[in-house]
A and B are shown apart, each in its own frame.
Chain A
Amino acid sequence: MSKDISQPLDLAISAPDTGEARRNGKRPISIKRVVLYLILAVLLIYAFFPTFWMLSTSIKPQLEAFQDPPTWWPHNPTLHSYQILFADQQGFLTYFKNSLIVGIFTTLLTLLAATPAGYVLSRFRFRGARALLLVILATQMFPYVTILISLYTLFRQLGMLNTYPALVLSFTTFSLPFSIWMMKGFCDTMPTDLEDAARVDGLGRLGVLWKIVMPIIIPGVIAVGFFAFLNSWNELLYALTLTSSPDMRLIPPGFVLTYIGEFQDRWPDLMAASTVVSLPIVVLFTIFQKQLVSGLTAGAVKG
């Protein structure tokens, strides 16, 4: 289940390869292969063009972004949009800092709750386990805007609007049920032999959890954590509703309220900011890709 999919493994749909042609280095160029690469090229252009456009626009001078016909690559590339970003005229650094803080604490809170719960639901049989699982499953179907209405009135009464705890708590609502399920699915695929053996050898219950279980569920923890962070980084609705002061704004509402409001249509600036806010996720994804895939697909792919 945790095969590294970065390895070109055996093909699922193409004919078995004897490997002989490959070894001799004279693989025949078939029409099939050309078509394959053509389709791949079209799909790759579709997949990557918008990102390319974002990068290209971010280094255009302001006026060039409004040209018709558009220029594919700027005639006079400039880093001006990035420079003013870090000069923080529009509160960008504040938004970035807020998003980072809320994202990290949401991830920690989600992991703190979901990891033990997922493990328990996977390993222990107890009264109400089935009911609890069904309830958590049903929760995933809850439209989270329904929760927001009450959270907003609640936080308002408590004077918690525009605070980090309100954002972190509310962001946890939509990460938690899914994270518990993901953790449970991941634990289901882990063999229990080690735990049993450690118990027989006289290791205490908590010792088993800490020394045996923790190390093997790390990929699951990383996958859940990445998901929680991604969700938090992306969240617009809750962030827009629960904050009003610019000091507490996160990146998504910052974009909506800043770039399309006061700084109407400053595309290069917007695209430079877009590039910068995409980077943390791209970096995290690149680092943790392997654990992420195995964590995400643990249960789903087993059969």
Chain B
Amino acid sequence: MATLDANAKQTGAALTPERKPGFKRGINGPWLIFILLVPSLVLLIGIIFYPVFNTILLSFQSLNLAIPFLNHWVGLANYGKILTNPLFDFWHSVEFSALFSILSTVIAFLIGFAFALLLNQRLRFQLLWRGLALVPWVIPYVVVAYLFFYMFNSQYGIINHVLTSIDLFGWRPFPQPLPWFGGDGHLAVIATIFAAIWNKFPFFTLMLLAGLQTVPQELVDAATVDGAGVWSRLWNVTIPQLRGIIVITTTLQFIWSLNEFAIIWAMTNGGPGNATNNIVINIYRTGFLNESISYAATIGVLWLLILLVFTYFYIRVMEGNTATR
């Protein structure tokens, strides 16, 4: 995770580290570098770059696995269809992917941060609380999905049971059980995001807790002496100190959420209708359930382009931030 840090914060500096051990001389230097890089290069080229290139080629063809012998070049026809025909649900699935990722990342971050701040206090049984808080992160996605699918069940689910029994002096906000996975699908959207948040927040807790330990105590003390309250210390001392780690963790989680498949698919299969049809599910349905590989490839390439544009602007913004700091 270190990882994104540097490039996010200061691309130039990170990519040309100054620290160099005494390896500069010696004839086997370049060869050693090469040999150590070979396994990664082979894998990167063989199972990432070649397939992506091949996917781009497929997007200009008409490959359907049911009738593979009819495959031929179609130019940009697929792109026209995907972008204009609402049957492909392209724009909606982009929208849902963005909504899902933004909401689940932001809320999971807030919960994870709150947890980290609390667990960073002196508490009794601290280790136990920390262990419990981190459990959701190590529960497999499919398990998370079915667990929440069961808890959100409209007839005998525990969540509906709790909601319908809320009774505030005669005011009952949910008199009827909610049809979580039916209706227009809005509730299904909430249910999937809810499950994702529960699974993701411990990642933030883990990372931010580690970050909090590096905040210099003198800074906090100094702020206290200056009369800063809890919120002021949090806002003016702690958060600026954690800036780097906050940027990295939220970015990573956001990217991972854009690729989310397991939790949503296992809970809703993208339904009801297309309500929870994110871009990955859209591609899976198009390419593998309907066997229209070339349409799926086209959606994939468009999605790749959107992400690259997003990444470009993201790096620009990050570099701008660093420059002005």
Contact = CB atoms under 8 A, between A and B. Distances in A.
Given A5-B210, A68-B156, A297 B44 contact: no
Interface string A260-292: 100000010011001001100110011000000
Given A43-B133, A149-B300, A182-B1, A237 B262 contact: yes
Contact of B51 (A14, A17, A150): A150
A255 B1 contact: no
Given A51-B136, A112-B39, A150 B58 contact: yes
Nearest to A37: B123
Interface string A150-173: 111110000000000000011011
Given A116-B36, A241-B288, A199 B23 contact: yes
Centre residue among A135, A154, A205, A252 by max chain B CB count within 10 A: A252
- What's the interface size class on A, roughly? 35 or more
Contact of B2 (A51, A129, A189, A259): A189
B265 A256 contact: yes
B40 A8 contact: no
B115 interface: yes
A237 B261 contact: yes
B17 A233 contact: no
Interface of B is mostly: helix
B170 interface: no
Centre residue among B120, B161, B209 by max chain A CB count within 10 A: B120
A184 B249 CA distance: 17
Given A70-B161, A141-B308, A184-B3, A124 B147 contact: no
Interface string B278-309: 01100110011000010011001101100110
A3 B3 contact: no
B135 A300 contact: no
B138 A281 contact: yes
A94 interface: no
Centre residue among B47, B117, B221 by max chain A CB count within 10 A: B47
Given A297-B1, A301-B214, A153 B293 contact: yes
A210 interface: no
A145 B207 contact: no
Contacts, number: 373
Contacts of A67: 156
A150 B111 contact: no
A245 interface: no
Centre residue among B139, B141, B206 by max chain A CB count within 10 A: B139
B158 A70 contact: yes
B107 to A, nearest CB: 12
A34 interface: no
Contact of A142 (B39, B48, B50, B144): B48
Contacts of B324: none
A255 B266 contact: yes
A215 interface: no
Interface stretch (B75-83, B84-92, B124-132, B185-193): B124-132
A87 interface: no
B3 A47 contact: no
A119 B132 contact: no
25 contacts: A5-B209, A16-B220, A37-B123, A47-B198, A69-B165, A120-B36, A122-B17, A126-B33, A141-B311, A145-B283, A145-B284, A146-B303, A149-B287, A150-B51, A150-B54, A170-B47, A173-B43, A173-B51, A176-B44, A185-B3, A199-B22, A274-B146, A281-B138, A281-B140, A300-B207
Interface of A: 1, 3, 5-6, 8-17, 36-37, 39-40, 43-44, 46-48, 50-51, 53-54, 57, 65-70, 109, 112-114, 116-117, 119-120, 122-126, 129-130, 132-154, 169-170, 172-173, 176-178, 180-182, 184-186, 188-189, 192, 195-196, 199-200, 205-206, 230, 233-237, 241, 251-252, 255-256, 259-260, 267, 270-271, 274, 277-278, 281-282, 285-286, 293, 296-303
Given A43-B115, A235-B262, A303-B9, 4 more contacts: A47-B198, A116-B40, A143-B259, A150-B55
The 4 closest A-B pairs by CB, nearest first: A185-B2, A299-B2, A181-B3, A150-B51
